[in-house]
Amino acid sequence: MPSRLRRRFGTETLTERPEYALVGIIKIPESQNSPGRAIGRRVVFAVCALFFTAGVVWLDRGGYRDAQGNELSFLDSLYYSAVTLSTTGYGDITPITPGARLMNVLIITPLRVLFLIVLIGTTLEVLTERSRQALKIQRWRNKLRNHTVVVGYGTKGRTAAAAMIADGVKPADIVVVDENAAVLDTAAADGLVTVRGDATKSDVLRLAGVAHAASIVIAANRDDTAALATLSARELNKNAKIVASIRNSENTHLMQQSGANSVVVSSETAGRLLGLATMTPTVVEMIEDLLTPDEGYAIAEREVEPSETGGSPAHTADIVLGVVRNGTLYRIGDSEVEAIESGDRLLYVRRGPADK
């Protein structure tokens, strides 16, 4: 009864809606097949249906007679099935010779079936698209776990998603939340699942599966929007890693209080790179290389191998930049990490796929 009242007065949340009502809000990328292949599948299905029907008629041929009262041959059964499935019925012009009937089956009927496929098949596809999308949304919601939610798919969000994919994250494990339909079309074209709505609202984030997400990227265009989205996300998921981007450094403390694990100040970071580029442009080039996982070098994190326990981070086979111990990052040279301990994670420089 409460859910009926909420639907009646328009207070129903998105997560309470049935899947068919979410079509257009949630968009799951479609596998792109060529039109020729799609029509080819339909033709094969039509031919199979034709021969199956002909077999059924031929097995029961004792109950059929032609206009001359003769028992049907298999060709007669095939002809009968063709004119029946094509809904043409019996006209005043009827082929009476085997050659004419064979031509009708092999040439006329396939053309008629092709016409029906083009005329009716497309209409049926449009009518069933909404039901098919609803089933896909239902399956998607049931198995959505340990994914990454990207709030905002502008330049920052799009670059973050591209970096994750280049680092091995599957596009199916990334969900984009945004209000801009054109932006979501771009995300869908990139193979990502999209949810249309305001990310500061809890029901929109629930629809994106924030409660079951492993990580959340806040890439909103405004700092106040980023703070509200972070608060809502942290309320839904106490354990997810939240990474947020802001424009003004004075909002860093606010974002951390809102629940962000890491805060990136985009304006200051760009400013530092601009300043470095005026004096040492090659340093900026190397930094960009390190931030591009799919080529050159990249910064990565890995577990400590048993053979490395007790040794110095500087003596490992990789170029180690830092050690993560109990969630805290220590730089190389800090006294706390003179020796590697079991359970540590190493922040190191690895070669990208292009250089492996």
pTM greater than the 0.75 cutoff: no
In the chain, where do the E strands start and end? 26-27, 148-151, 174-178, 193-196, 215-218, 241-246, 262-265, 297-303, 319-325, 328-331, 345-351
Spatial CA neighbour of 157 closest among 190, 133, 135: 190
Res 20: pLDDT: 61
Res 202: pLDDT: 92
Res 273: pLDDT: 79
Res 196: pLDDT: 92
Res 51: pLDDT: 81
For residue 267, give both structure tokens.
Answer: 């304006």
Res 226: pLDDT: 94
Output phi, psi for 333, to 5 deg: 105, -20
For 119-134, the pLDDT digits (tens) are 576 566 666 666 777 7
Res 293: pLDDT: 66
Question: Do residues 23 and 137 lie in contact, with contact meaning Cβ atoms separated by under 8 Å?
Answer: yes
> 3-state SS of 209-241?
CHHHCCEEEECCCCHHHHHHHHHHHHHHCCCCE
Residues of the chain with pLDDT under 50: 1-3, 5-10, 91-93, 354-356
For residue 118, give both structure tokens.
Answer: 């083009």
